[in-house]
Amino acid sequence: MDLFQKCYDYKRVDMAKAWSIYPYFHELNSGQSDVVEMEGRRTIMLGSNNYLGLTSDPRVKAAAIKAIEEYGTGCSGSRFLNGTLDLHVRFEEEQAEFLKKEACLTFSTGFQSNLSIISSITGRNDAIISDSFNHASIVDGMRLSFAKQYKFPHSDMNELERMLKRCNERGQGKGGDKGGILIITDGVFSMEGDICNLPKIVELARKYGARILVDDAHALGVLGERGAGTAEYFGLEDEVDLIMNTFSKSYASLGGCVAGEAKVIEYIKHVARPFIFSASLPPGQIAAAHEALRILKSEPERVARIHELTADVQERLKKLPYVEVRESNNNIVPIIPIKTGTVVQTLYISKLLLEAGVYVNPVLPPA
């Protein structure tokens, strides 16, 4: 069989386009904001991760432009060799301090961050226990690891404990000598808007001798009094071992980072293949992220404003007839899922909204 046969047989896109309900790759003619130019039309943007509204902030743009003027458009190498700028180092120091961790390491994308972290710190004798609703980058990071892997049903703490017990029985974690255990969870789940049960996860991790990695892609700038994320929200900064962040959301840029103990970060820096063999984050991108961090620190009221807007929108949506808002464990995360029925119904509703000048994200299985 021809390797490309699967490509030729792939008809889903053709069908959606034939029915005029294909929802992806719409062209924007402007920057990200609350109102954008999309394919020549003014459109209300309700599907962006621009949580703090900083992608068009003059200070962020000026920082990126200044960095490009001083350092050029790229680094022409990996961080491991000639691609480490003082811009990277200064950001890492300030981000680690912001998250109340000893050290921080930046990556070229958020996806690469999880690939690097997970594949480097877990091996054949270790175990990974992951929430079944975790992000695709975590799933693929686990695929790069040789560790024994478990997935517990979304936020099911009883099942998580059962898996931890099994790992202990296999000699992993507390009291064992066969290997370690890593629990991985999204801080905020990107499709549901739920906040993880971090207090219980911390309790179980300490009971069974596991370490914790929290993916705070959607929590940075959103949760906590300062916007420092899930650990701050629950007052558990000292209990979470590794915190992963992305820059493409609240930090108005591109890239990602991980923060934790200095020795652990040093290990990842020298062992993680996706990090070592990738070009480093360009000057403009790291400068933009750093300026966004400074703004977040100096203007924490932006976080409170997100909470106010989210609660208001949730309440307004719940009062509308025929609108079924998915129940969440909070009213402060600006991810509000609305149940729409079948795949075709979902695509058709998103099309009608776009025609009315409102862009939303249709979420389809398996996402």
DSSP conformation class of 281: P
**Helical pair 86-98 and 283-298, crossing angle rounded to 10 deg:** 30
For 217-242, b where at least 16 C-beta lie within 10 A, e where not — what string? Answer: bbbbbbbbeebbbbbbbbebbebbbb
Question: What CA–CA distance (Å, rounded) separates 143 from 127?
Answer: 13
Q: Residue 326's pLDDT is what? A: 85
Structure tokens at 74: 């790229």
Active site residues: 190, 218, 249
Q: Residue 184's pLDDT is what? A: 99
Domains of the chain: 8-56+301-359 (3.90.1150.10), 58-298 (3.40.640.10)
One digit per residue, the tens of pLDDT, for the chain of length 367 reads: 999 999 999 999 999 999 999 999 999 999 999 999 999 999 999 999 999 999 999 999 999 999 999 999 999 999 999 999 999 999 999 999 999 999 999 999 999 999 999 999 999 999 999 999 999 999 999 999 999 999 999 999 999 999 999 999 999 999 888 999 999 999 999 999 999 999 999 999 999 999 999 999 999 999 999 999 999 999 999 999 999 999 999 999 999 999 999 999 999 999 999 999 999 999 999 999 999 999 999 999 999 999 999 999 999 999 998 889 988 888 999 999 999 999 999 999 999 999 999 999 999 988 7
3-state secondary structure of 131: strand
One-letter amino acid at 282 equals: P
Distances (CA, A) of 80 to 84, 273, 280: 7, 10, 9
Which residues on adjacent β-strands are paired with residue 183? 129, 212
Q: Helix count (H) and strand count (E) of the chain?
A: 14, 12
pTM of the model: 0.96
Question: What CA–CA distance (Å, rounded) separates 258 from 306?
Answer: 24
